[in-house]
Amino acid sequence: MLRTNYCEIDLDAIRHNVGVMRSHIAGGAKFLAVVKANAYGHGAVPVARAALEAGADMLAVAIPEEGVELRRAAIDAPILVLGGAELEAADAIVASRLTQVVFDEARIRALSAAGERLGMTAQVHLKLDTGMNRIGVRTPEEARALTALIDSLPGIELTGCFTHMATADEDDRAGTLAQIARFETLCAAIAQVHPAPITRHAANTACIFRYPQAHFDMVRGGIALYGYPPVPEAVGLRPAMRWVTRGVYVKTIAPGERVSYGGTFEAQRETRVMTVPVGYADGYSRGLSGKGCVLVRGHRAPILGRVCMDQVMVDVTDIPDAQVGDEVVLLGRQGEACIDAQELADWLGTISYEVLCSPSARVPRVHIHA
């Protein structure tokens, strides 16, 4: 690392958060850890290993490439690909022993053919759409037909079915209960054709804490794995990411001088300005311009003017000891002070998920055991 700009990932926090979620599981259901999108920006391989060490039974990714990455790291646990895969990816999916989501005839046939070619069995979960209106079969007739197709073909095996809740983290109990009921109806349709047990899962992170009736055979832990509660009931979590850099320059400007592109900030007093070597190319959003702040010596330093591609300027006038080389925290805790992903999200008008995924590839992840 040639510059101080990295995301520090606390793997003990990941393990702790798995334990918090598992303590809420009803009826002996299994726990699936969602490590898609590079584990929400935290580093897929180390996070996956930590989650498995803490008791996760399965992992989930969004695209086959993410599953292949885990296999290349010698992770042998079951891996579910949550998104639809292109037909040309079928051989790689089967060869990597990934469990693929299916919801149409073309993908089922492609995976079956790949299984036959490779002398292996493609394992699949049938996606059921109960109200998200994204991907998945919607009617009992569709569920029965695709189940029958899977069971009729060589080289493929139905091992699970699942749905995703659209509003479990909102004040929409009726909507979530309706989705659970539709899921049960579709599961019953599958069982009419395929009476052998399969893994049924419907609970996302919010449901883990709010809807034990949705736990079925397995639950899926996402945002809470990384320390952020999707609902108030999710207590006791520990954020795992801390984004750190250092100040590279400090100067004093006079009243009336302006800062950064467009001169959108004009000093009203003599102002000490620290330049921080992070910008929107690092994933530190330009939308934070004039809104956000960072931590320096345990105090908040407001952003002055526009965030640049590679640098941002902050006000350290009220932090008189601030100097070049001081640690600057963009996200996380510094002493008693803290800026978490939810606060950053509020400044940006988005959600904590997007903030956690934002640090770019040029920001190394450093995994620690706190």
Instruction: Tell me the one-letter amino acid at 50.
Output: A
Element (H, E) at 65: helix 64-72
Q: Are 99 and 81 in contact (CB under 8 A)?
A: yes
d(CA 24, CA 231): 14
Please choose, from the candidates 2, 116, 7, 4, the residue with its C-alpha nearest in 3D space to the C-alpha of residue 357: 7
Sign of torsion over alpha carbons 275, 278, 281, 286: negative
Query: Would you call 284 a catalytic residue per the annotation?
Result: no
Catalytic residue among 30, 36, 211, 228: 36
Distances (CA, A) of 182 to 140, 162, 201: 9, 11, 13
Q: Are 202 and 216 in contact (CB under 8 A)?
A: yes
d(CA 220, CA 2): 38
Catalytic residue among 127, 211, 261, 353: 261
d(CA 70, CA 83): 16
Cβ neighbours around 1 below 10 Å, total = 7
Query: Would you call 251 a catalytic residue per the annotation?
Result: no
**Residues labelled catalytic:** 36, 261
